Structure 1
Amino acid sequence: MDYSLYPRHDVLCIDMRSFYASVEAMKLGLDPMKVMLAVVGDPNRSGSIVLAASPALKSKYGISNVSRFYELPKDPDIVIAPAHMADYLKVSTEITKLLNRYTPKEAIHVYSVDEVWVTLNGLEKLYGGSWQIAEKITQDIFDSFGITCSIGIGDNKFLAKVVMDLHAKQLGIAECRYEDVEKKLWPAPVEKIWGIGSRMKRNLNRMGIVNLGQIANFNLKYLKKHFGVMGEQLYWHAWGIDLSPVFGDFTKTKQKGFGHGISLLRDYSEEDISVCILDLCEEVCRRARSFNKVGKTIHLGISYSKETRGGFSRSQSIHLPTNVTKDIYQICMHLFQKFYDGESKIRHVYVTLDNLFDKEKIQLDLFEDRAKKNDVGYVMDAIRSKYGSTSILRASSYTDAGITIDRSKKIGGHYK
């Protein structure tokens, strides 16, 4: 591979180790690297998920982020901390501000609450080489927040991310340039590579591909035939090539739709579910109105409880795009009544509005007073924006089947 044809940057991929657990440990005055601590979504529910485990807990008991609360060993040395999502977001924001001391905002790409890419091009005279900067950042984060991090260094985002996953999590800092790909990345099993999930792994294994090097040396034509555009991306990534931008406003993405879903804490019956659907429609339409968008396609998804399993996912398009809650709700209830089996208990619901248009470009139906419907929605949004998300609610939201009040106490599905 002639790498002279491809751009070279100095990119860091920074991952905060056991981030949620580390934040909780620091709040309690404990050493994040020594304490056995588990962050649990809701300690009052035995089936609640373990969102994060400290390195010591992972090492001793093999606890992972897919474990359940009831699976934790009965060890008195294990500290149980309920999740506080607002705290994690606040610390994440402060870490981003710290990184902004080294590089401009357009060179920082926040990937998740605990992971970020930073491009260092042109900073050598200020701070030294990329390895030196990585060491400075590691120390700064530890001194400021008591949190350790792993940093991958590469010529592009892909190389920085993968070398961080494969090597930096053991070494602290690891580097992979184009010339290092064959030695450092090719031996890795395909499932260890960022972007390759369990389904892709199975498909690759059926083709006799078990590591990244085999992808690199596989016929590109056949990869494209089997996987389309994804096959081509797999091939170039296997050679360490990634042309995604390393500078820019990474927060601006085109909104394709608005959706909200919920995993219910109990089985919902047919009588209960209409309230839940209405609350979800209200939230979906509120978000659409905030972007001044309307949509033509409404999607309803229902999953049944474990006893019966199954469910359905159906959509319907309408002639005149809308962001009016009642319009969306009526379509959702029509889909529910048409496809619900009539007896199964329900544990998961989601509503989506897509096929979007700008509100100003849509002509109102002259035979229906839609302007008043729209005005009511925008007035309710303004009240909530000023006085809080629960300052004005539909009466049904206060019933046992309502979900809005409980959701208002959470971020990302977990309590603030």
Structure 2
Amino acid sequence: MRTGRSWKVVLAVLTCSVVLMSASYTMLIPFLPLYLMQELGVSKADVNMWNGAIFSIAFLIGAIMAPIWGKIADRKGRKMMAVRASTGLAVTYFLGGIVTSPEQLFMVRVLQGFAAGLWAAELAIVSATVPAEKLGFSLGVMQAALTSGGVIGPLLGGILAEVFGMRASFMIAGVALFTISLIIIFFVPEPPREPGDIPNRRQTRQMDLLKEPVIRQMLILAVLVQMVILILQPIITLYVAQLRGSMDNIILIAGAVFSLGGIAASIAAPVWGRMGQKKSFGKTMYLAMGGAGICMLIQSIPNSLVLFAIMQFANGLFFAGINPSISAVLANNTKSSVRGSIFGMFFSAQQLGSMAGPLLGGTVGTYWGLKDVFIVAGIIMIITSAFVRFTRREAY
């Protein structure tokens, strides 16, 4: 029953676990190229190829598997799927710390893709546990936790690698993920089900769910938004160096500038969630998308690193309102019995966007120019905002 403190306790516990999860995912990013060269013997000429392949393969496998795990979660239990994902990820991180070749690390990342789905399972648990009138706020809190972990992770990873070594950092990430398993096992109950809430096979067919126009639109938007969020990844360091006119301490400075968007998103996500609950998630969505698009376009203008950093923070304030709104629309337009499938598909859409974003950013930056990456990203967001504004349905 969604009463009293029970849903608040579940939300608090899952929020903490999401911070740990997100930090564990991202803490390895700063030193992965160095790990390949110094620990696994990859040559400098081949490191970019291996880094790209190893980084991307988990997204690809995760995108394929997420809807399957979501469907199983609906039939067998969301808590079980969350424990499966966190335990599986913990094991793969431990394996990542003992590999001796890039080929082995690639296979570990393949296994990591199969183990993925923790975020989708936790969204399904929250959406089935919290009261309907608190859904927007709760999803905003979860998004803030995810973003906070993403900001903390790279900084923590760099410190741990410096103090304990790169292999130890894999082990510490594994411990964090295993801790999540224990937290879920002992503190998170299986979400309540309404009478007749166990889905039949037809109810959980993804193709049938995709026939719903609202669901189809939200998943397409999820791909585009995630693509724009990660479009800067290949060029942010070079762009910051261009604005500074120097490569001195560029990794640290670029990381600090990039993290400003995450800090802003952590602050703003619950506020957007409340706004969506009171006004409408569709209105929140197109306002946030439009604001993010304008900020992206403005970021192509400054010749000052300070101004660029300010706009990076502003950008995070707007992006914070998009994914919680998409999550809420998906939850509000599906039965509780298929929430696992829906959030599995949502996660899959985000994984596809995560692959496409860096590829598009790198291509535009290489053949057009670094400033053009921001222009392309801004135009995409403004078009999506206009689409939501003028096709907005009563469903959202």
Fold match by TM threshold 0.5: no
TM-score, scaled relative to structure 1: 0.24
Q: Which has the higher strand share?
A: 1
Q: Which has the higher helix share?
A: 2
